[in-house]
């Protein structure tokens, strides 16, 4: 007996990516007495639980179309975790091998999840080429990626380095999907969008699309405060994983995917503020998100309290699930 196919049954996790829901945080608004509306785009509804699923699928599919990626290749990427997880899930579904070079200070859940999908995980501290120049690249993750490519990737055979920092598939997928979803699901009634900046793809793609629809939409970027940036001298400073400062550093240290022209304002958030609001939204609205989401909420609350924003709709991009932070102090 042959079964009748139906569009409701998907055949790949890639078909489950995107179309994440919008949720108004009514309890948070009420508790804080906000006169602006805060609407969260919950990216943990993606199949591997973060916004980076979009980027991972986009970069892999583009490499396939270009003929750069075949089953004889191993995919290589550097990440603070979520991109590696997205790549690991999609690589597993497509039958690719994957090697993920990951920052040492990320939560242990990230490493375990990547391994669960069958990918190989290599901490940065186990890469001698990076350890040898650690002081030189202190805090400069763009320089670290360039050295990584030259000293590690280029010396391996049959590998494809996707490099999310300057891969156009990163902002393009947000221009093609995330931005249009926000416009569609708000019926174009959106005044402000707030997102954090790591590689720059999210805010650049969303901002680029929405500015074409309505140039009056404000795009606000969130970056770490000066007291939330670790260094070789102070490595124990708690950071907001995956979020990087960009507003006051040299252009060559900013990822190519950061399109400053679509950003109207930059707000700095300290890690403790980010943790505070991640905890608060969990207890008030039942939304379990990570530190970067908490940082975005902190910025959104600041913006919502401004008198000129009364009655406006603020959409916040919450990138991932709080389940990736249970081994950290976030919910202690």
| H or E, element range at 125 | none
Residue 99: CB partners within 8 Å, gap ≥ 6? 74, 75, 76, 77, 119, 120, 122, 159
Closest listed residue to residue 125, CA positions, set 271, 235, 247, 261: 235
DSSP 5: P
Collapsing DSSP states into helix, strand and coil, what is residue 22?
strand
Among the listed residues 41, 52, 211, 312, the single catalytic one is 52
Enter the tokens of residue 198. 């790591």
Q: What angle in degrees, to the nearest 10, is found between the helix axes of 82-94 and 52-66?
A: 50
Neighbours of 176 (CB within 10 A): 16
Query: Is residue 179 within 8 Å of 208, Cβ to Cβ?
Result: yes
Residue 88: CB partners within 8 Å, gap ≥ 6? 48, 98, 100, 113, 114, 117, 118, 119
Enter the tokens of residue 235. 């490595």
- Reply yes or no on whether 65 is catalytic: no
Among the listed residues 58, 107, 292, 293, the single catalytic one is 292
Question: Cα(257)–Cα(205) distance, rounded to whole angstroms?
Answer: 9
Question: Cα(189)–Cα(22) distance, rounded to whole angstroms?
Answer: 13
- Reply yes or no on whether 30 is catalytic: no
DSSP for 183-236, please give it.
Answer: HHHTTT---EEEEE-SSSHHHHHHHHHHHHH-TTSEEEEEEE-GGG---SSSTT
Residue 104: CB partners within 8 Å, gap ≥ 6? 123, 124, 125
Q: Mind telling me the catalytic residues?
A: 52, 292
């Amino acid at each position: 007996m042959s079964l009748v196919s139906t569009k409701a049954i998907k055949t790949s996790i890639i078909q489950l990516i995107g179309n994440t829901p919008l949720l108004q945080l009514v309890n948070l608004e009420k508790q804080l007495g906000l006169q602006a509306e805060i609407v969260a785009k919950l990216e943990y509804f993606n199949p591997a639980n973060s916004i980076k699923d979009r980027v991972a699928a986009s970069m892999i599919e583009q490499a396939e179309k270009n003929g750069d990626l075949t089953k004889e290749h191993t995919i290589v990427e550097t990440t603070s975790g979520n991109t590696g997880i997205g790549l690991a899930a999609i690589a597993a579904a497509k039958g690719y091998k994957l090697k993920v070079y990951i920052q040492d200070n990320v939560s242990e859940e990230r490493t375990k999840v990547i391994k669960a999908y069958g990918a190989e995980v290599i901490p940065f501290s186990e890469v001698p080429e990076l350890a040898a120049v650690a002081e030189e690249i202190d805090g400069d993750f763009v320089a670290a990626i360039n050295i990584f490519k030259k000293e590690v990737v280029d010396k391996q055979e049959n590998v494809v380095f996707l490099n999310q920092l300057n891969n156009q598939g990163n902002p393009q997928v947000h221009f093609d999907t995330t931005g249009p979803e926000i416009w569609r699901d708000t019926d174009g009634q959106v005044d402000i969008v707030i997102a954090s900046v790591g590689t720059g793809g999210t805010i650049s793609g969303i901002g680029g699309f929405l500015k074409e629809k309505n140039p009056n939409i404000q795009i606000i970027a969130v970056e770490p405060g000066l007291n939330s940036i670790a260094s070789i001298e102070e490595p124990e400073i708690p950071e907001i994983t995956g979020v990087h400062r960009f507003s006051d550093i040299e252009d060559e240290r900013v990822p190519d995917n950061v399109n400053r022209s679509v950003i109207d304002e930059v707000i700095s958030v300290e890690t403790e503020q980010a943790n505070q609001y991640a905890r608060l939204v969990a207890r008030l609205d039942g939304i379990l998100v990570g530190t970067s989401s908490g940082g975005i909420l902190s910025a959104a609350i600041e913006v919502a309290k401004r008198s000129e924003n009364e009655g406006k709709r603020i959409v916040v991009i919450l990138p991932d699930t709080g389940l990736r932070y249970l081994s950290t102090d976030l919910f202690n």
